[in-house]
Structure 1
């Protein structure tokens, strides 16, 4: 079991964390002693999430802004170093899902998905790794992929493509980052109960029916996996992707079945 001080004296950036999976990851990291820089493009969400973590006794700083913007990304890394002297863990969780039929998928939707899901993750990893290698003590990077990187899902060609690319990015960066003792992995969540998915009144019932374990994931299920992969206990794991989907991708029934 991970101790309550597992991330003490560590500084972490988590993007896309105003609610849902990202927020849960931040909450659990802060509860285990980390100083967390919590990013969301929505300033109200970011500030509310940070306040909730502070109210629970955690150390958390709001970083509202576009996680796909290279200059903003560098400002987050600089703030982490200014705050505590180093950057130890980065979790590139921000992503957008824009459903659409492949035959008519608009150019602006594709570029929005690429900007956040790929550009944001790539340049955050780049900025973080450049900082970590100067510190000479290693670090951990984690990208949020998806089961749609492994299994086709209707109207998610663009999204699934970006998530598969993140997993290849993690594999490729093993070559670049291992000499500096920086490990890099991805998590690939399946159906998960969040504020966004619960807007669909049928979501929980449908995914409970077609998920072998009998229910969609809770955010804590994803957070537990994320924390392990960025912990000291996982330092010899790198270039890997962990699917967290209750067994759905093993059998892959359609939500429409």
Structure 2
């Protein structure tokens, strides 16, 4: 029970990587406030975790809205007494050719991926500072923040920015015993990617380890970085991609 007596917020956790992180935190003793924009998904995910014996409360809403983030932090403290872990997993991917990329799509990507993550970190860290017990923040980056990927200029830019945010905030957060890191997943099998029958074959071929990641692969890395075992690790970005960024061939549909 590594996370006994800990309280975590996990955003974008209705399915996929976020759900795996929330579920594993709860399995290891944490009380979890589970966020997703989709109200049905949030409540279903939280109910599943409770059925497995975990402590989890759904809190659906838009984490690009700073006032909502503020209410989410307040809710976590009101329900569980404190906040010690924040996982900024919520994000959006909008593909598009650079020459035709639309301002509305750009703003949507930046608002959620950067604004939401920045202000969740800020508001969670403020609460941790008041508590004077330290804490952990985890940002969700991507291999596209390290290597070019077709159609993802805006998205990749936001993910690289999150890794710089983790590095920069070492200066701000370390005096309060708060560490901050980022996980950069590569291709990962989730409910969304499983809708594409070419996804696993393509990424299995171009990933040195012979397969895309599972959500458990990413969750294992995430839990380590917010655990007591990593208290002296901060400002770092951990790539979990089966070696893809070492060689970086782009996925080509139809091959």
Band of TM-score, shorter chain: over 0.9
- Please tell me whether residue 161 in structure 1 is matched to residue 154 in structure 2: no
- TM-aligned CA deviation for residue 104 of structure 1: 0.5
Q: C-alpha separation between the residues in 1 aligned to 2:149 and 2:8?
A: 32
Aligned pair count? 253
- Please tell me whether residue 201 in structure 1 is matched to residue 197 in structure 2: yes
Counterpart among 61, 68, 80 of residue 64 in structure 2: 68
Q: Any unmatched runs of 5+ in structure 2?
A: none
- TM-aligned CA deviation for residue 253 of structure 1: 1.0
Q: C-alpha separation between the residues in 2 aligned to 1:35 and 1:105?
A: 41
**TM value normalised by structure 1:** 0.98
Residue matched to 2:8: 12
Q: C-alpha separation between the residues in 2 aligned to 1:235 and 1:68?
A: 28
Counterpart among 35, 44, 67 of residue 40 in structure 2: 44
- TM-aligned CA deviation for residue 52 of structure 1: 0.7
Residue matched to 1:81: 77
- TM-aligned CA deviation for residue 254 of structure 1: 1.4
Matched residue SS, 1:95: coil
Residue matched to 1:127: 123
Mapping 1:212-223, distance limit 5 Å = 212-223=208-219
- TM-aligned CA deviation for residue 198 of structure 1: 1.1
Matched residue SS, 2:139: strand
Residue matched to 2:29: 33
Residue matched to 2:225: 229
Matched residue SS, 1:40: coil
- TM-aligned CA deviation for residue 136 of structure 1: 0.6
- TM-aligned CA deviation for residue 39 of structure 1: 0.2
Q: Is the 8 A contact 2:183 2:221 kept in 1?
A: yes
Residue matched to 1:99: 95
Write out per-residue CA displacement over residues 167-224 of structure 1, whole angstroms, 9 at most, x where no aligned residue.
Answer: 0000010000000000000000000000111111100000001100010000000000
Q: C-alpha separation between the residues in 1 aligned to 2:246 and 2:120?
A: 32
Residue matched to 1:247: 243
Q: Is the 8 A contact 2:189 2:212 kept in 1?
A: yes
Matched residue SS, 1:143: strand
Q: C-alpha separation between the residues in 2 aligned to 1:132 and 1:58?
A: 23
Matched residue SS, 2:35: strand
Residue matched to 1:148: 144
Q: C-alpha separation between the residues in 1 aligned to 2:209 and 2:133?
A: 39
- TM-aligned CA deviation for residue 42 of structure 1: 0.2
Matched residue SS, 1:68: coil
Q: Any unmatched runs of 5+ in structure 1?
A: none
Q: C-alpha separation between the residues in 2 aligned to 1:254 and 1:129?
A: 37
What is the RMSD computed on CA atoms of the aligned residues? 0.6
Write out per-residue CA displacement over residues 1-43 of structure 1, whole angstroms, 9 at most, x where no aligned residue.
Answer: xxxx100110000000000000000110000010000000000
Matched residue SS, 2:203: helix
Mapping 1:102-121, distance limit 5 Å = 102-121=98-117
